[in-house]
Structure 1
Amino acid sequence: MTREELIKNIKSKQSFLCVGLDSDIKKLPAHLLSEPNSIFAFNKAIIDATAPYAVAYKPNMAFYESLGAQGWTALEETVSYIQNNYPDQFIIADAKRGDIGNTSTLYARSFFEHLGVDAITVAPYMGQDSVSPFLGYDSKWVVLLSLTSNKGSHDFQLTEDKNGKRLFENVIETSQQWASDKEMMYVVGATQGKMFADIRKIAP
């Protein structure tokens, strides 16, 4: 999905809603457990209920990978269902990959070529060569971790260099040399809202 298509959908629905599909099999309604693929059945119900209001869906890979082949099948069916029934939706694989070289190249192939999602979350802390294999796919996106919402984000992301620049600011500033705003977005945790103004100075 292109930047223009995503913005058009946001304006049309007057919504920024992204629905997380973090489906824990241990927390599913009991009546779904008899379904051939209970995770997909749960996801389908969530998708059908929210599609008129949402512009994006974000399955978190851990909830699928933890179930082995069954989980991967549920993920494939979920992505396929969204693409076939709600093609205006932006699909983000929340995978937080961040390896280098051939490993990242194969991760990119897995998510963009095999699954066909629109975007993947990527950790940038191994540098440009951990991110570049995900770039260059037509109408595909890297969503780069920059400032996360967890308590531990203060351990590293907010540390300052000798000039007073925080690490997350360096990440955003440096990464803009790797890609344009037509193929890269940033993760900023909702609990860090007061820093949006600072971030927009770097990446307006």
Structure 2
Amino acid sequence: MGLKFVQWQIHETTVQSPFKMTFGEEPQIGLESYVLPKSLVGAAKTEEEIEEFLTSQEANDEETRKEAALGQSRAAAKMTRRAKKMLIPLQIGQNCTLRVPDVDRGPADPKNFLVVVMAECEGLYTVGCREGKLASKFTAADLQVISENILSIDEVPDTEIPLRTAVTKATGGQGYVKCMCLSGCSSGRCSCSRKRVLCNSRCHPGKSCNNI
């Protein structure tokens, strides 16, 4: 198509052309696009006219930014409405599986974690597990409903814990805890001993260990 046609296209979100977003005004066509003789330009550039031109240009830039911001707000509201239509609201007491991010689980920990919906506020759900109530809030897209009711709200302790801690307690895995001790893990400086977990194959390769 070429730049000649693209610069007149209206963006769906900002409702403005790329040229106006860049320069604060619509592209000039016709006689306005021609370069005037220097004699006419010099005669027109008085101090008042230059000040008026700069002031109007700043006003155009500010108005362009406001229109673009309004367009982005409308697009965000449209996406929110579309997401609410696609996602089915969850019910209090429903059992769901929560996908555990890779950064919150060890290599042997499960990818999905059983939780129960405890509360809802503005589209964000508070969920709990047998280890406690998770500190983070989740959307309906983060939770996958299951048909069985394995866990009830009464079984959830009142204490709030991070997701990583809950997964580690539930699986009994070591998570990301490891040590690089050189003294046999017999002192209080051993990170595994402080966490009250046993050392594994990732700890201090080739060294003796008293914490196995």
Could you tell me the TM-score, scaled by structure 1's length?
0.21
More helix by share: 1
Could you tell me the TM-score, scaled by structure 2's length?
0.21
